[in-house]
Every structure is written in C-alpha cells, then in structure tokens.
Structure 1
Amino acid sequence: MSRYLAATETDARPAPDRRRTLRQILIEDFFYGPGAILCTLLLCALLAIAAWKLLDWALLDAVFGPTETLDASQACRAEDTEGACWAVIGDKLRLILFGLYPYDLQWRPGLACVLMIALYALSVQRALWRPALAGIWVVFLVAVLILMRGGIAGLEPVGDDQWGGLPVTLILSTFGLGLAFPVAIALALARQQRRFPMLQAASVGVIEFARAVPLVVVLFMASVMLPLFLPADWQVSKLLRVLIAFTLFGAAYLAEVIRGGLQAIPPGQYEAASALSLTYAQSMRDVILPQALRIVIPGIVNIFIGFFKATAIVVVVGIFDLMTAAKRAVADPLWQGFGIEVYLFAGLIYFVFCFSLSRFSARLERDLARDRAS
C-alpha cells in the first residue's frame, strides 16, 4: 500500500469575517456577565451625572455676554450665576489670539494664521505631494513673514517684540520643525558614518548635548549667549534666536528617531542598492530613507506634537505665544477668577491642532500600509 496520498486541488477558503455587529460588541465587551453588567451600568450612571454637570456649567448656566442691566463682567459675578463665564473669551479674544500686536493691524496676523492653516490643509493631501508643493510652502511662508513684519508693500512695520498669541506658536512650530527635519536627517546619517570619525563625533556631540539639557537652557543660551559670539553691529532678533534654539533642539530628538528607522532597515536593502550601482546619495534618497521614515512616522509625529505644545516655554525669554497671551488675559483685574474658561479655550486650540496631526498620522500609516500591500 502506498504511503503517499494524491494531492487534490481545492478552492481557497475566504478569510474569516471578523467584523462584529453593535449587539455583539455590547454583549461580548460590556454585558457578558453579572459583574460586567453591574460595572457597565455604574460607569454609565457616573458618566451621565458628570456629563449633566458639565452641560449645566458650560451651557445652561453659563454667561455669554452682558445683560440688559449688567455688563459682561458684572453678569459673571452676579450671585445667581453658577456657570461658566464665556464672556471673558469674547472680551479678550484678540489678546489671546494676537497678543500685543497693534490692535488696528490685527487683520494681518489673522490672515497669516489663515494662510498657515491653508498650507497645512494642502500639505496633508497626498495627491499634491509634488515638487511644486515645496514652492507653495516658500510662497506661503514668505507671505506670512511679510504680513507679520510689514515694511514693504505699504504695510506698516511691526517689530517681532510685538508679535504674540497663535501666530507666534504656529511660526515657531512650523519654521522650527520644518528646518529641524533636514538637519535631523543629516545628523542621523552623520552619526552612522564610521568612515568619518570626526563627522560622527560632531554629530554625537550635538545630539547628546541637546538631549542632555532642558529646553529652557537652550533657549537661554540662544537668547543670552549667542549675541556674545556675534559682531557688535549684528542685531539678531530675539524671535530668530529662539527659532534657532528650537531648530537645533528639535533636530537632535528627530535625529535619534530617524536613526532608529535606519537601523530597522534590513542589511539586504543596502546590499541591493549597492548591487544596482547606486551611489550613497542615491541609495539613501531612493531606497533607505523612504523606508526608514515610513517606519518611524509615529515617533516623528509624537515629537511634532510635543514641540508644538513646548512653544509655551518661550515666555521665559520674553516671547508671548498663545499660552502666555492667555495668561495676560487672565491677569486683567476686571476678569480675575475666570481663568478656567480662558485656559479651556487655549487648550481647545492646542487640542484641535494636535488631534488633527495625530489623525493625519494614523491615516498616512494606513495609506502607506495599503500601498505596500498592493
């Protein structure tokens, strides 16, 4: 009797359907037993109570403006008022968004913010990822600087010591991280160059120094020590010095994330690039870096989000970003005691930008994984 069985051709079975209906999700995750049912009902009750209290404070009993007999601040301080005082946002909105920028010229930072948000919206469209997009970035950012500084095209000049609020936060994060990214790639590649020990040592020194000291120290060095190394007739604005500090600090952290991606690339990819007679620059540009950057997208976005929020620390060197402008709004004696509403509004702005960046990162990862699978 033969020990071998003839192989028969069979049709491939479809992949199991792992999708669950809402009823299955509720039963399997929340109501699968007496204990789970009790915990679920208890948590739902606590959430309902908390949601009602929040709704009552934020909307039902809130003050949104003046009444017939009281102005906004008096209405917020009335004895029968127990809700939020959103009137402070309406009264201090310009100060929160634009800081000390001249009041009658605040249309310029407002338009600058619109341009930068439009630039972000264009940049997240993969269909527009063409060389022309780099030109759009240059045009938009130059327009933002012209609007903010003035001095040309009939615009009244405004020194950067009067800038503040949301435009400063967007400018520092956009320019700082935009300039830091190519510097980070250069530092990451230089740190792997064992054939050039001096270049490798310089890269390691920059990265380790920036990672070993707090950001506030780097800001103080850029603000106080950098002018000491420049000629006496060179006047470098404080905002530009802070931007340089942000660029170097961000580049150091990004460089380590990118280096992790480079180390995750299998050696066979380097050997394949060498077998195709690609130069070092060509292999990095066309083979290695695209794969490495795809791997470390979550780490890069995490650093972007962290540095967007870290712009609040520039107050220590006298620059008024969004959070500092919010603090100045709270300091007004007329609105003392209503800081929660102002900080909630500022936090909402941070949340919108950071959450949008996080969702774009998740979508980009899914799209790249789909492209790679196909």
Structure 2
Amino acid sequence: MSIHQFQPDLPPPTNSVGVVGWLRKNLFNGPINSIVSLILGYLVLSMVLSIVDWAFVNADWIGTTRDDCTSAGACWVFISVRWEQFMYGFYPEAELWRPRLFYATLAIFVAALMWEKTPKRTWIWLFFVNVYPFLIAILLYGGVFGLEVVETHKWGGLLVTLIIALIGIVVSLPIGVFLALGRRSEMPIIRSMCTVYIEVWRGVPLITVLFMASVMLPLFLSEGMETDKLIRALVGVVLFSAAYMAEVIRGGLQAIPSGQYEAADALGLSYWQKMRLIILPQALKITIPSIVNTFIGLFKDTSLVLIIGMFDVLGIGQSANTDPEWLGFAIESYVFVALVFWVFCFGMSRYSIWLENKLHTGHKR
C-alpha cells in the first residue's frame, strides 16, 4: 500500500505577482483598459517631463536681477531675491534674528512633542501652549528688555501665516471642546447659547468674519482704546474655527457608546472627571482625522487675511508680482507659495495618520 505524498506548492507565475502582476491586474486587464492606460500614461509622462524641464533643467537659479533669467525655464532668481520677504515680510533687516529665533524654537518644540521618547513631554506641551506664545509675542514685538518695537504691520510672509495658524489651532481646540460639551449639556440655557454660537459662526464666511473683526471689533472697546490689526484677525480666526471644531468634537462625543457614560456614572465620577478621564480621550482619538482636517483648512484659510491689509506668504507673493522690475514671474511666485502650503499641510496629514494608527485600539472596522 503506497502512501500518498503531497508535493510542495509551486511559486505563483512571475507575471501575476510584483509590479508586473499589479500592472496586469489594474491597468492592462483588457484591450480597452490597456489602450486607455497607454494614452493616459503618455499624457502624464509628457506633462511631468515638461514640468521637470521648466522647473529644473532649464531653470535659472543664480543671480540678483531679472537679466540673469535668460533661459526658457523658471526664474528661481526671483524667489531667492525675495526670500526674506517671503519669510519675514517687511521686518527690519537688523532685527531678523528675532523671527529666525522663533522659527528655530518652534521647530525644536514641534520635534520634541512629536518624538515619543522625549522626557517630560506633558510639561513641554503645557509650556508650549501657556507660556511660549507670550514669550514669542514679546520677542517679535519688542518694547521690553531693550528690544526695538516692530509694529505688526511690518510683519508678513510665512511669519504671519504661522502665527495666525498656530494661535488659531492652539486656542480654538479647547474652546471647541467646551462648546461641544455645552451643546450636549442638560442645562437648556447653556445648550441653547452654545448651539446659537455654533450655528451663527458656521453660517458666516470667514471673509465676513475678518471684515467684522477688523472694522467692528474696535466699536465694542472703550473709547480711545486701539486694537492691533493682527489681534483682530486672530480673534476672528479663533472664534470662527472654534465653531467648526465644536461640531467635530460633538460628533466624537456622540460616537462613544452609552455604556461608557453609564460605567463612569457607576464608578461615582463627577461630570468633569467622567469627561476628562473617560469620554474626551476616546472622543478626541476617534476624531483625529476630522480635527487635523479642520487644522489644515485653517492653515490654508490664513491667506484670507490679505483682504484686511495683512501680507501673509500669499500676500507677499502677490505684492512681489506687481514690482515693475520683476513683472512676468507670477508663475514662479504662486508655485513657491503653493509648495509652502503643501509642505505644511502634507506634514500635518501624515502625522495625523501616524497618530491615528498609534492610538488605534479597535474602533476601526
């Protein structure tokens, strides 16, 4: 009696795995798909080669005047000449060490907070949120410790973009949390007030909010009291963003199973203990993608401050395009501005994905 012996499994055909297999399955799995894939591939390749040729191969990189741009490609000389304006606006050249110090310290704090093994991360975060903004305001504005006063109308470029985005993100998040909790409150007055606030601010465009903050906010202050234009813009952006943040967090609160609330009540926790220790950590974890999406939208919306006379990085680009000595290089300007926004927004989105995967504890299906 012979004993049947199973033969070892043969490897799959080479044309069904790897890159070749993926191409056959997704792009060339039929005559029509193959023809469409070849046509689209040709168009995409032609476009990519044209962009590379314009942006890199035939581009001008070195020079100080438009006469140095002699090729048919991009004139990055224009960006290099205007570099300090794109980064700092019209900040005095002798005081540029102050915004540079801000950039350096901000990068250090962000790196320290993103690295998991950083010691005392909680204390670093508390310092970053509660103390660091005031130190930076003193550093950039001056007027104390022998620092020369630099009015905010001289600030511009990436400096203004980062300041508005950072303040908007850091301040709108806690306000949004309280608004979301208030909208779900069992007290009718609190719930009604929060609901009215959220619906009113979400129903008004940010452009209108900035106009209102710039023109009408001084009317609510006492006579003779003036408010800086940057402060007005920050107030408008924060109040506007907080309403959207509240709805995002409210969605996370409603996604928590009722059993979590009941379990917290069974433990005898107070309302604030229940929210701080059990409900909010889960709600914030669930809404990480939506929160970061709101932050990305806020970062891009900072370009709207141009309408109230503030020159962020996009405003500096548009003002540079009107310089008679550099007319005709608007494409380079807009490409550079788009790259700046893309780098920051892409970085936030990738960190969001990493954080979501790290905190994943079974909510995904």
Deviation at 1:52, TM superposition (A): 1.6
Deviation at 1:116, TM superposition (A): 2.0
Amino acid at match of 2:299: F
Amino acid at match of 2:23: L
Deviations 1:334-359 (A, max 9, x none): 11110110111111111110000000
Contact 1:177 1:246 in 2 (8 A): no
**Please, what TM-score do these two structures have when normalized by structure 1?**
0.87
| Rounded Cα–Cα distance in structure 1 between residues aligned with 2:175 and 2:86 | 33
Contact 2:244 2:294 in 1 (8 A): yes
**2:359 aligns to what SS in structure 1?**
helix
**2:179 aligns to what SS in structure 1?**
helix
Q: What's 1:300 paired with?
A: 291
- Equivalent positions of 1:239-254 (< 5 A) are 239-254=230-245
Deviation at 1:117, TM superposition (A): 2.8
**2:338 aligns to what SS in structure 1?**
helix
| Rounded Cα–Cα distance in structure 2 between residues aligned with 1:229 and 1:44 | 60
Contact 1:115 1:140 in 2 (8 A): no
1:65 paired with 2:52, answer no
Deviations 1:85-112 (A, max 9, x none): 1110011111121112112222221221
Among 200, 208, 211, the residue aligned to 1:217: 208
| Rounded Cα–Cα distance in structure 2 between residues aligned with 1:127 and 1:273 | 31
Q: Which runs of 5+ in 2 are unaligned?
A: 1-16
Deviations 1:272-323 (A, max 9, x none): 0001111110110111111111111111111100010101111121211111
Contact 1:312 1:322 in 2 (8 A): yes
| Rounded Cα–Cα distance in structure 1 between residues aligned with 2:92 and 2:124 | 35
Q: Which runs of 5+ in 1 are unaligned?
A: 1-19
Amino acid at match of 2:34: I
Q: What's 1:283 paired with?
A: 274
| Percent identity for Structure 1 against Structure 2 | 42
Q: What's 2:29 paired with?
A: 32
| Rounded Cα–Cα distance in structure 2 between residues aligned with 1:221 and 1:278 | 43
Deviations 1:67-97 (A, max 9, x none): xxxx631232x4xx31111110011111121
**2:305 aligns to what SS in structure 1?**
helix
**Please, what TM-score do these two structures have when normalized by structure 2?**
0.90
| Rounded Cα–Cα distance in structure 2 between residues aligned with 1:299 and 1:274 | 28
Deviations 1:206-248 (A, max 9, x none): 1111011111111122111111111113222111111111111
| Rounded Cα–Cα distance in structure 1 between residues aligned with 2:339 and 2:58 | 21
Q: What's 2:46 paired with?
A: 49
| Rounded Cα–Cα distance in structure 1 between residues aligned with 2:117 and 2:18 | 34
1:333 paired with 2:324, answer yes
Amino acid at match of 1:114: A
- Equivalent positions of 1:1-374 (< 5 A) are 21-66=18-63, 72-76=65-69, 78=70, 81-128=71-118, 129-194=121-186, 196-369=187-360
Q: What's 2:11 paired with?
A: none
How many residue pairs get aligned? The number is 346
**Change in 2 beyond 3 A, CA 1:326/1:225:** same
Indicate the larger mover: 28-37 or 150-159: 28-37
Contact 2:168 2:298 in 1 (8 A): no
Indicate the larger mover: 120-129 or 149-158: 120-129
**1:62 aligns to what SS in structure 2?**
coil
| Rounded Cα–Cα distance in structure 2 between residues aligned with 1:56 and 1:23 | 29
Indicate the larger mover: 251-260 or 227-236: 227-236
CA RMSD of aligned residues (A): 1.9
Contact 1:99 1:320 in 2 (8 A): yes
Deviation at 1:41, TM superposition (A): 2.6
| Rounded Cα–Cα distance in structure 2 between residues aligned with 1:367 and 1:283 | 24
**1:101 aligns to what SS in structure 2?**
coil
